[in-house]
C-alpha cells in the first residue's frame, strides 16, 4: 500500500481540466450513474444504523471467535449493568464511525470498495487497511524522526557547543552531526516499525503525535479508536492482521537503512520491496496468487510517484533498468528535464518499467477469475482497473517527470461501473492495453521518421 492521497504537497499534480472532463460525455454519465443511479452500497452505514438497535459491544480484548457480524459487535458484559453496557456500546459505535470517516479521508477509492464488502468481512478488512495505512504513514514520513532526534539532542547541544572552534572544524563537526542524526533517526524509525505490532496492536492507548500529514496524521493521533474496533474482531482476523503487519514492518525496516537516493539496485530488490508493501492483499486472501495483484498496484504507484520519491531521497525505480538510460548515472537525470535527450531517456525508461508491470496482468486476471463473491470480486478488481488506467496515462507521458499524473475522476467512475464481472474487467484491460500498444507504435514510427530526417 503505497500512500499519499492528499500528501502531494511538494510536487505539482497533473490532472485534466474540468473542460476536458466535460468533453468526455460517457464519463460524466458514468459519474452521474455512480452517484445517483447505482452507487456502490455501503454496508457499513447499515451496520452503523443497526448498531443503535443492537445490544452492547464488548471491550474486554477477547473478541469473539465466531466470525461474522456478531463477532464484531460482541456481547454485553455479564453483570456489567444496563447503563454500563449502553455506554460501552455508544463508545464502540463512535469508534466505528471514526474508522469509517477516517477511511474515507485517507483513501476515497479504497473506502468505496471496502464498504461494499459483505458484512462478514467488512470491518475486518477496514481495520486491516487502517492498521497498515498507519504503519505506512510512519514509513513514509521522512522528517518526523529527524525532528524528534534534534529535539532530544537540542538541550545537550546548547550547553556543550564551543563557539571558539574554527569554521572548518565546525563544518566537519556539523557534517558528522548530521550523519549521526540521520543514523539515529533511521534507527528510531526502524524500531518504531519493528515494534508497531507490539505497541499499536497491543496497547489500547497507543498513539503517535505529529507523524505524517493531514488525515494520516489524524489516524495515528486517534489510533486508540481503531484499536478499540480491532479488539472486537474475531481472534483469527486479529492474528492475521498482527502477522501481516509484522511481516510488512520487517520488510519496510529493511529498506529504511538502505540508501535509496538512486532507487533500488535491481528488479529483484524492486520486486522484494513491492512484495513486502503489498501485504494487504496477501493477508486478505491468504493465497499466494494474489501476490501478483499486490505487486501490480505497488509497481503502478512507484512508477507514477517517481518525482516525489526521488525528491524525498527514497526512490524505488530499479537501477538495473534506469541505469541504461541515464548517461550521468544519476536517477535524477530524468527529473524536470531541460534537454531533449534527458526527456527522451526518461520516457524510454518509463515505458520499460510500465512494460515490466504489464507482465503481471495475466496472473491478476487469473486470480480475479477465481473469485465467486461479487463484492469481493469488485473489491479486488476496482483497484486493478484503476492501476491499468494509471499506467496507460503514464505511458510515454513527460508529466511523470514534473509532477504526479492522475486519471480523471470521470474515468474512475466509468471503471467502477464497468468492473462488475470478469467480462467487464477483461474489456477494460484489453482497451487500455490496446491504447498503450497504439501509443508505442505511434512513438516508434515518429522516432523512425526523425532518424531518417
Ligand atoms: Mg510507504
Q: Which of 308, 252, 255, 307 is nearest to 278 (CA)?
A: 252
Tell me if 85 sits within 8 A of 117, measured CB to CB. no
Where does 286-339 have alpha helices with state H? 291-304, 306-311, 319-322
User: In the 8-state DSSP scheme, what is residue 260?
Assistant: B
* Res 282: pLDDT: 64
Tell me the C-alpha distance between 168 and 344, whole Å.
43
How far, in Å, from the CA of 64 to the mean position of ligand 1?
Answer: 32
* Res 22: pLDDT: 85
* Res 7: pLDDT: 42
- Dihedral angle sign, alpha carbons of residues 129, 286, 250, 7: negative
Distances from the Cα of 31 to the Cα of 112, 115, 276, 381, 390, angstroms: 14, 18, 34, 18, 18
User: In the 8-state DSSP scheme, what is residue 39?
Assistant: P
Catalytic residue (one of 238, 304, 378, 408)? 304
Catalytic residue (one of 273, 306, 325, 334)? 273
Catalytic residue (one of 217, 314, 378, 408)? 314
C-alpha 263, offset from chain centre: 18
Locate 293 and state its grid cell: 495483484
Cell 470478469, residue located:
422
Q: What is the DSSP string of 137-173?
A: HHHH-SSHHHHHHHHHHHHHHHHH--TTS-HHHHHHH
Residues whose CB falls within 8 Å of the CB of residue 27, separated by 6 or more in sequence, listed in order? 21, 408, 410, 411, 413, 414
How far, in Å, from the CA of 185 to the mean position of ligand 1?
Answer: 17
435 is known as an active-site residue: no
How far, in Å, from the CA of 176 to the mean position of ligand 1?
Answer: 28
How far, in Å, from the CA of 4 to the mean position of ligand 1?
Answer: 8
* Res 130: pLDDT: 95
How far, in Å, from the CA of 298 to the mean position of ligand 1?
Answer: 10
User: For the packed helices 119-140 and 167-194, what is the interaxial angle rounded to 10 degrees?
Assistant: 170
**Burial bucket for residue 17 (CB in 10 Å: 0-12, 13-18, 19+):** exposed
272 is known as an active-site residue: no
* Res 64: pLDDT: 41
Tell me the C-alpha distance between 80 and 77, whole Å.
5
Tell me the C-alpha distance between 183 and 205, whole Å.
29
Residues whose CB falls within 8 Å of the CB of residue 237, separated by 6 or more in sequence, listed in order? 67, 124, 127, 128
Where does 195-323 have alpha helices with state H? 196-199, 214-221, 223-231, 235-256, 267-277, 279-285, 291-304, 306-311, 319-322
* Res 103: pLDDT: 94
Catalytic residue (one of 98, 230, 379, 429)? 379
**pLDDT tens-digit profile, the chain (453 residues):** 444 444 446 788 998 888 888 888 888 888 888 887 877 878 888 778 776 665 444 444 444 433 344 444 444 445 557 888 888 888 999 999 999 999 999 987 788 888 888 887 889 989 999 999 999 999 999 899 988 877 765 443 333 334 334 445 556 666 777 777 788 889 999 999 999 999 999 999 999 999 999 999 999 999 999 999 999 999 888 988 999 899 999 999 999 989 899 999 999 999 888 888 886 666 666 544 466 788 899 999 999 999 999 999 999 999 999 999 999 999 999 999 999 999 999 999 999 999 999 999 998 898 889 888 888 899 889 999 999 999 999 999 999 999 999 999 999 999 999 999 999 999 999 999 999 999 999 888 888 887 776
* H or E segment to which residue 404 belongs: strand 404-405
Tell me if 428 sits within 8 A of 382, measured CB to CB. no
How far, in Å, from the CA of 302 to the mean position of ligand 1?
Answer: 10
How far, in Å, from the CA of 136 to the mean position of ligand 1?
Answer: 5
pTM over 0.75: no
304 is known as an active-site residue: yes
How far, in Å, from the CA of 179 to the mean position of ligand 1?
Answer: 23
How far, in Å, from the CA of 125 to the mean position of ligand 1?
Answer: 19
Backbone angles phi, psi at 150, to 5 degrees: -55, -45
273 is known as an active-site residue: yes
Amino acid at each position: 500500500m503505497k500512500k499519499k492521497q492528499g500528501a502531494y504537497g511538494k510536487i505539482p499534480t497533473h490532472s485534466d481540466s474540468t473542460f476536458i472532463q466535460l468533453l468526455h460525455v460517457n464519463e460524466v454519465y458514468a459519474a452521474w450513474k455512480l452517484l445517483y443511479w447505482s452507487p456502490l452500497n455501503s454496508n457499513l452505514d447499515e451496520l452503523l444504523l443497526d448498531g443503535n438497535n443492537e445490544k452492547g459491544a464488548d471491550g474486554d480484548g477477547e473478541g469473539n471467535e465466531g466470525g461474522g457480524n456478531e463477532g464484531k459487535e460482541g456481547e454485553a458484559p455479564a453483570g456489567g449493568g444496563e447503563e454500563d453496557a449502553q455506554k460501552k456500546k455508544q463508545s464502540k459505535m463512535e469508534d466505528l464511525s471514526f474508522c469509517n470517516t477516517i477511511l474515507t479521508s485517507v483513501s476515497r477509492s479504497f473506502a468505496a470498495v471496502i464498504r461494499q464488502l459483505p458484512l462478514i468481512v467488512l470491518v475486518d478488512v477496514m481495520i486491516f487497511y487502517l492498521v497498515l495505512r498507519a504503519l505506512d504513514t510512519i514509513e513514509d514520513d521522512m522528517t518526523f524522526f529527524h525532528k524528534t532526534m534534534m529535539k532530544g539532542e537540542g538541550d545537550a547541544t546548547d550547553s556543550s557547543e564551543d563557539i571558539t572552534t574554527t569554521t572548518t572544524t565546525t563544518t566537519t563537526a556539523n557534517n558528522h552531526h548530521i550523519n549521526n542524526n540521520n543514523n539515529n533517526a533511521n534507527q528510531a524509525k526502524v524500531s518504531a516499525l519493528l515494534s508497531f505490532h507490539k505497541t499499536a496492536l497491543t496497547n489500547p492507548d497507543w498513539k503517535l503525535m505529529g507523524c505524517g500529514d493531514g488525515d494520516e496524521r489524524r489516524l495515528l493521533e486517534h489510533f486508540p479508536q481503531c484499536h478499540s474496533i480491532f479488539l472486537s474482531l474475531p481472534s483469527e482476523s486479529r492474528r492475521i492482521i498482527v502477522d501481516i503487519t509484522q511481516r510488512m514492518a520487517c520488510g519496510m525496516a529493511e529498506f529504511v537503512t538502505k540508501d535509496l537516493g538512486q532507487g533500488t539496485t535491481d528488479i529483484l530488490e524492486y520486486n522484494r520491496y513491492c512484495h513486502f508493501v503489498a501485504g494487504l492483499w496477501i493477508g486478505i486472501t491468504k493465497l499466494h496468487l494474489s501476490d501478483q495483484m499486490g505487486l501490480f498496484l505497488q509497481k503502478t504507484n512507484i512508477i507514477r510517484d517517481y518525482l516525489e520519491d526521488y525528491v524525498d531521497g527514497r526512490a524505488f525505480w530499479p537501477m538495473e533498468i534506469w541505469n541504461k538510460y541515464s548517461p550521468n548515472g544519476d536517477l535524477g537525470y530524468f527529473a524536470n528535464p531541460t534537454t531533449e535527450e534527458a526527456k527522451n531517456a526518461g520516457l524510454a525508461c518509463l515505458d520499460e518499467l510500465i512494460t515490466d508491470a504489464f507482465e503481471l496482468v495475466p496472473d491478476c486476471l487469473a486470480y480475479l477469475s477465481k473469485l465467486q463473491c461479487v463484492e469481493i470480486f469488485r473489491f479486488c478488481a476496482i483497484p486493478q482497473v484503476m492501476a491499468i488506467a494509471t499506467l496507460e496515462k503514464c505511458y510515454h507521458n513527460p508529466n511523470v517527470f514534473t509532477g504526479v499524473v492522475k486519471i480523471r475522476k470521470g474515468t474512475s467512475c466509468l471503471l467502477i461501473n464497468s468492473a462488475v464481472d470478469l467480462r467487464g474487467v477483461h474489456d477494460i484491460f484489453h482497451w487500455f492495453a490496446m491504447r498503450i500498444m497504439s501509443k508505442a507504435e505511434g512513438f516508434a514510427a515518429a522516432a523512425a521518421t526523425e532518424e531518417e530526417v
